[in-house]
Structure 1
């Protein structure tokens, strides 16, 4: 059992062994919550930069840097979270190695503008390297102190190190090779856990993991609220208070609230407890959930700026900047949870209908305008919440 109370002095050193998967009352530690705050900064940076690209009518050029930087942020958070779920000791060495990883996240955040504006990923790679140094040191410690999981831990340490050499080497490649190198290295990075855990699965805690993912979902939703607020602030500064601007901002809040509600309707913790073998699908697939929620924030900022006549993009582009990530979120939410539980809470037919409506609504823009489309998307998400609650209340079965 680790020391979860930040007001008490942590033990200087506790032997790192696999934590019990049935440990009661396992929740996120104060250190994990502090760690997450560094990701708030990084996510805010990429959301803002993507919004700026969209506002200038050049969103396509921003998608590449967005995906690359988001991968670094998401994958670093993933690695820390799953390691902590299995091996968190919360002693002094563990806290210090976590501090190293936090420093790496902030370096990544500092390098986001250069990545978007100049395709310069030097700071991103350096920050990623710092994070990996901290993580590898933790895996080496686990290998030394936990003989039963030594092979798996060493595989993690070796695999992460080898791939990290590739990421650093990528900086020396010609610009035309950048995308191909990124794809290859990202696949290799994603393959490390699959290879490492073939010799034995780490003792991650299903309820702890579900809570950690829920907290990260709240973080990206919070950044979406912040992005929309930034758009309102800029609009007020340039054109003053406008009905359309305020209306879109309010609609955006309703939309984000509905998406939050939908996410927490699905019982992920129980599903992970029953079907631990499907954790990779659920965990990896959340990249689309997190990325879509982050993109929704950028889309809402673009819509608010468009309403204030500060964006060069068209109404249709602003509407699809919201519609596409909302559709991805709704679809992935069902796809990821359906394999975990015998009965899916959100019915697949309703999900498909909601996705189609969200993607079609921008085509009605000439008739209902930007406000109408944004309101329509929020109404679809809200209707899906209501329909799901009715299904739960009436006890109607759903397809798995």
Structure 2
């Protein structure tokens, strides 16, 4: 049964339990990037991440409209968890099938199809008494069926064509869903608080991957000073990513959602969260790849190299770009320092590649910290200006 009020304003424990399978998926995506160690491998991993992200997004809409404490819904979500975990297990062989066993690409495609079908069936069951939502789900089929078909065809065809078919599936599915949402206008977000909290939590889960990356990089190495210094720098880097999202943006996003009526809220939820947060999550995971690569070479005085430097710099820049778009959607004008951060980190990639891994981490942290301090100073100045104007207006 769906609800239309905010009776389920807080994220329920079962939702957090559900999200744990995506934590493993994030780890597997990072593993695919690290093992291929190439631009093609990163593109392959990001395509898989986009497919899995789109499945998570679908269930974030369901859990905002229906209590996951309903037994029937829990059963459906448990089936979904199994399928997502199976898909995540196959990520290392999603493009290059390992010898023996079943076809990795095809198992991924089938598991993905099961998740998408389960989402549709659960939504259709819950919306039995909601004609507008059922009409929206029928429109949604025009995105789901061709998208899933392209995934299955790509898995069967294999080779270089598989990646491009899967990219086409992502682009078509996302575009068709966006256009269909404009036509049907049947989606709704009863609870702004629940929605913002759910996406904030998935950002934290992705940040957890950056923490795990620290340990993965040096898991088999004896502890020494460079490892401790690299760990400290990496933790601070992850904290700065956390600060960039939660210090200002998260709360304002929730406020803007709460201010809007249902139709406008659903549009903002899709644009600022379902779409834009993919860039934020992808940026964190790519940055985590850079952290892991740096920690693997933390004792090495030789230059860090291009792969790790590009991952570290572009990951932070992508995260910053995602927060810029998010800020603009929620009404924060001119997020200048976020743009500066993105440009500076991209420009710093040659420097990061030329210095040692430890120095690269320290440089990235220093750049992020300086920009964060400058942003805070600008924010305080803007708030001070507003306060002065208010006092002048109140003066007799």
> Shorter-chain TM-score category?
0.7 to 0.9
Query: How far apart in 1 are the matches of 2:278 and 2:268?
Result: 15
- Between 1 and 2, higher relative CO (CA 8 Å, sep ≥ 6) is seen in 1
Query: How far apart in 1 are the matches of 2:68 and 2:234?
Result: 41
Counterpart contact for 2:192–2:257, Cα < 8 Å = yes
- 2:147 alignment partner, one of 160, 163, 185: 163
Q: Deviations over 1:54-112 (max 9, x none)?
A: 3xxxx224123202211122111111101221234531111111111111110011101
Residue 293 of structure 1 deviates from its aligned partner by 0.5
CA, structure 1 residues 201+363, in 2 after alignment: closer, same or farther (shift >3 Å)? same
2:74 corresponds to 1:92: no
- 1:328-367 superposed matches below 5 A: 328-341=318-331, 343-344=332-333, 348-365=335-352
Q: Deviations over 1:216-235 (max 9, x none)?
A: 0000100110011111213x
Match of 2:204 in 1: 218
Q: Deviations over 1:317-367 (max 9, x none)?
A: 3222211110111122112221322x34xx532223222322233433587
Query: How far apart in 2 are the matches of 1:121 and 1:174?
Result: 8
- 1:260 alignment partner, one of 218, 242, 251: 242
2:362 corresponds to 1:375: yes
Residue 162 of structure 1 deviates from its aligned partner by 4.6
Match of 1:7 in 2: none
Match of 2:128 in 1: 144
Instruction: Structure 2 unaligned segments of length 5 or more: list them.
Output: 99-103, 387-396
- 2:85 alignment partner, one of 86, 101, 106: 106
2:277 corresponds to 1:291: no
CA, structure 1 residues 61+17, in 2 after alignment: closer, same or farther (shift >3 Å)? closer
2:50 corresponds to 1:71: yes
Query: How far apart in 2 are the matches of 1:231 and 1:152?
Result: 46
Query: How far apart in 1 are the matches of 2:375 and 2:224?
Result: 35
Instruction: Structure 1 unaligned segments of length 5 or more: list them.
Output: 1-15
TM-score (norm 1): 0.84
Counterpart contact for 2:32–2:92, Cα < 8 Å = yes
Residue 126 of structure 1 deviates from its aligned partner by 1.9
Root-mean-square deviation (CA), in Å?
2.6
2:88 corresponds to 1:131: no
Query: How far apart in 2 are the matches of 1:64 and 1:89?
Result: 34
Residue 208 of structure 1 deviates from its aligned partner by 1.6
TM-score (norm 2): 0.84
Q: Secondary structure at the match of 1:135?
A: helix
Match of 1:49 in 2: 32
Query: How far apart in 1 are the matches of 2:82 and 2:353?
Result: 48
Aligned residues: 369
Residue 250 of structure 1 deviates from its aligned partner by 1.4
Residue 201 of structure 1 deviates from its aligned partner by 3.3
Match of 1:184 in 2: 168
Query: How far apart in 2 are the matches of 1:366 and 1:177?
Result: 32
2:257 corresponds to 1:272: yes
Residue 116 of structure 1 deviates from its aligned partner by 5.5
Match of 2:393 in 1: none
Query: How far apart in 2 are the matches of 1:176 and 1:298?
Result: 24
